[in-house]
Structure 1
């Protein structure tokens, strides 16, 4: 099909040249016509160069070649039609051409043709250079690119990745340029994927130099922002390629690939299974282990190793999110112990991502009884270390964002604490007077300790009341933002049976006030809790009244 289109365009160029050959004989414009003939012959020669190449390569440039060739064909057709438009119907083609160059044909009809032919010559030269490294004497993109500038830049960079031989620096720069385009505008990721950029980038990750691998992996991670990009990567074997990199490549390349894994898993959770099947999880876990001096490659400094831990933790966090199989794997692999150690001694980023991973593992375990029994038993040394480190980070209060994550993790693990683990309750109650984010997360976490499905809910409820939590919750109920008020109300309703006599009247008054706030009673579950709590708090009053009757 492509060959037929090109042959037709070459024939059209030859037709114009033949017409101009006759025109030179019959026209008085001796300078103007030869220039047009020269340009048309040059264009025909370039099109023949096109025909002589391996046209199967054009399968990867379908949109580009159609745009350029259709443009050339349009210009030549326009030129020829101008030559023939005033001829009698019964003339042969050559006779028509002869008649065109009579004084009745104004030269203004051809004013733009030389410029258009020059543009076509540059367009065809550029595509020959782009695909087959043909000599190209221009330093800019072709004129046709003015209408689709970003697309032509993308085509140029992808062609550099595909073309061989090409300098290593060029391929690295091309991969980097594609990544920059995605960062500038996410829609560019769609163009890169549609124009076949995924496969050469993945090949560069496999076969390139270290710098090329880094830039290509970084761009692939960004292409995960579009669904088509992930599908193309999966089809091209991204799981196998990334697993090989995490097993064999230099640490600096593994850092970027681990980040790309996190992007793929985050944007498209269905990738979790593919990475797990190719042993990416244990490969990432191995980077969490404490390294000795002998583990550090001569080319890797401690900063690189710290970055590797951070990206490995990030990837594991994203892979673990909502995935019980991967959480089982992590819990049985020593990852919990590593996360606890990194939470204690890691850099700021490493602590943050380790806490995130623990939070997600705990969130999955919260709703997965088998995982709770087999992997996160409270008797496990790894679990004890995790609990200790979460408590330390909560009580340190050094990093508000990290504190919030650790509070969430503790709440997700509420089922795992025994009745004697009152230190967690004490710490969480302390956050009922801190920042809004911390108050909110503390309310949510404490509610998980005292909800009906927690075996030790009565012990935890008593501890909340014992350390002054009830009065603090009343203050939140009255004076904080609605989202905090609602969370505080849910917690109050759950601890209502354990409210002491001294605070019972104040608590009942607060619950009656809450009943009159429409936004607090919209949720049917919360409304049911509220009615039950009020009923429980009213019982002692009714009992006292009956005992006092004669």
Structure 2
């Protein structure tokens, strides 16, 4: 008989996972079940013929619970935003306590002698347990009612009995409830920052906050918070919660991405910085997040912020003093279109459009007055976000190239140093890596006559030649290697700097130079023979032979490059003088040549050399 109400609660709980518009109705249904159970307990108590005094006590507690449940039901009906997680948990425990009391009261309806003898030994214990559960349920309901009876929760709110074995649970409930229902910007900021600090403590607390449905109210606070401080606290909390792919998936389901992108478009710089850092964390942990940010058009505001005060257009000779925001005017006009027709569902009226433009203009003016260190931190965050978004993601890489992103990255690589320069260089590396495997992106973004593409290549070569930082050089050479198929045969200026790096003192730099050159001479490259001849003419053979002796780190890329050069140009005097055939023969027995792909390449190179030696000797006999 008691399976019915429990099954009903389970069905309602499943329904509540659906659309937000059904939350109030579903909670109303959930609350109706224990109210009905309390009435049944009252009826069963009235019919009791044994343990009458104990049953009366059960009935009294059931009446108390019924009154509290009805009060809670009224609160739920009139509350716009209900934090339902603790309500459902507590009501579920109340229902169990009432079911137990109902079963106990029904056992007391008959007063037979045999039944009385059997029940006397266990009856008192059962009643004590049932009353304890009812009292705990009353304490839980008293706590949840206190949550909705004050404007701002504080430390004075007691811990509900349901959380006695997990004290942190009630604390998390308390803070999330504030974020749900409070109207005080101070209370909202304090509670969100408390959750942020709690999530920072350990992964277990992060999981509790996520499991107790803290992501959705934090996303709402980030999007529509009454103060910048409350939004900053929400962004910090969300960033601390995004610690792996599973947690990021929860954030995606709770509409965090649209909130972040809205903040990027028109918020104070310090909040935009946190939003960009949050994008970096989410994109790093989840390819799905990368795609979601692409759908929400996060690239445009990031590029716009990064390009602030960067001269993307050639300055006019007549201009006496360049305007500090001139470089981003066109992008920001495009952003205005995105605001009116994009994912934010803005009103399309002219007054609304005017307010957006005015707000954006004011924000740009404010940004001009920001301290340089604040703007640098914002740009570093935006550049890192672009890097994480474009990593192995063709859609985001394409969006960056469709704006003035490539040109912006190039100018920053040229002008800046340190973390900002490295981040921009790594972003270029990720875009070129995507272009290497996507012919459409390669053709559209890296055409030889494209000013942006030419500027990027010039800066990559400049970084390679400067030699100040191995990390920068390696990143630049990776990008050049990814673009190998875009360079015509006449672009030999690309190859000479790479060949020079084969002699670099740092083995990592030398190895990367060999890998980059290897992409120019792969047989899949239509110009592999022409590139091979140019590389040999620039003197690559001698440093390659030296790299083959330095160890496995440089040996493998050097061996692959040498084999490809031999296959493409077997009749070269430099290769002949280097005694390459002897060296390759020795390497066939080394560990580096045991991989099947390398072994096949090595065999083909040796066959080419042997054939050349035979024909060369025959020609001179």
The TM-score by the shorter chain falls in which range?
Answer: 0.7 to 0.9
Q: 2:600 aligned with 1:528, yes or no? A: yes
Q: 2:516 aligned with 1:445, yes or no? A: yes
Displacement of 1:141 in angstroms is 2.9
Q: Provide closer, same or farther for how the CA distance between residues 214 and 16 of structure 1 changes in structure 2, counting only shifts above 3 A.
A: farther
Q: Distance in 1 between matches of 2:603 and 2:581?
A: 11
Displacement of 1:447 in angstroms is 0.6
Q: Provide closer, same or farther for how the CA distance between residues 334 and 58 of structure 1 changes in structure 2, counting only shifts above 3 A.
A: closer
Q: Distance in 2 between matches of 1:374 and 1:52?
A: 61
Q: Provide closer, same or farther for how the CA distance between residues 471 and 16 of structure 1 changes in structure 2, counting only shifts above 3 A.
A: farther
Does the 8 Å CA contact 2:222/2:234 hold for their aligned counterparts? yes
Give the corresponding residue for 2:462.
Answer: 392
Displacement of 1:293 in angstroms is 5.5
Q: Provide closer, same or farther for how the CA distance between residues 303 and 171 of structure 1 changes in structure 2, counting only shifts above 3 A.
A: same
Q: Provide closer, same or farther for how the CA distance between residues 3 and 396 of structure 1 changes in structure 2, counting only shifts above 3 A.
A: same
Q: Provide closer, same or farther for how the CA distance between residues 421 and 290 of structure 1 changes in structure 2, counting only shifts above 3 A.
A: farther
Give the corresponding residue for 1:345.
Answer: 415
TM-score (norm 1): 0.79
Give the corresponding residue for 2:269.
Answer: 251
Map 1:413-432 to 2 at 5 A.
413-418=483-488, 419-422=490-493, 424-427=495-498, 429-431=500-502
Give the corresponding residue for 2:87.
Answer: 65
TM-score (norm 2): 0.71
Q: 2:220 aligned with 1:203, yes or no? A: yes
Q: Distance in 1 between matches of 2:70 and 2:112?
A: 30
SS in 2 for 1:312: helix
Q: Distance in 2 between matches of 1:344 and 1:501?
A: 37
| Aligned counterpart in structure 2 of residue 5 of structure 1, from 33, 39, 43 | 33
Larger deviation: 232-241 or 294-303? Answer: 232-241
Q: 2:376 aligned with 1:306, yes or no? A: yes
Map 1:371-390 to 2 at 5 A.
371-390=441-460
Q: Distance in 1 between matches of 2:270 and 2:412?
A: 20
Give the corresponding residue for 2:76.
Answer: 54
Q: 2:546 aligned with 1:546, yes or no? A: no
| Aligned counterpart in structure 2 of residue 508 of structure 1, from 553, 561, 581 | 581
Larger deviation: 137-146 or 341-350? Answer: 137-146
Q: Distance in 1 between matches of 2:300 and 2:84?
A: 42
Give the corresponding residue for 1:354.
Answer: 424
Q: Provide closer, same or farther for how the CA distance between residues 75 and 282 of structure 1 changes in structure 2, counting only shifts above 3 A.
A: closer
Displacement of 1:221 in angstroms is 4.6
Q: Distance in 1 between matches of 2:253 and 2:124?
A: 57
Map 1:78-227 to 2 at 5 A.
89-90=110-111, 119-133=136-150, 139-165=157-183, 167-185=184-202, 192-208=209-225, 209-221=227-239
Displacement of 1:333 in angstroms is 2.9
Does the 8 Å CA contact 1:132/1:163 hold for their aligned counterparts? no
Point out where structure 2 has 5 or more consecutive residues left out of the alignment.
Answer: 1-28, 310-322, 326-363
Map 1:205-354 to 2 at 5 A.
205-208=222-225, 209-221=227-239, 238=256, 240-272=258-290, 274-291=292-309, 295=364, 297=366, 300-354=370-424
Tell me how large the CA RMSD over aligned residues is: 4.4
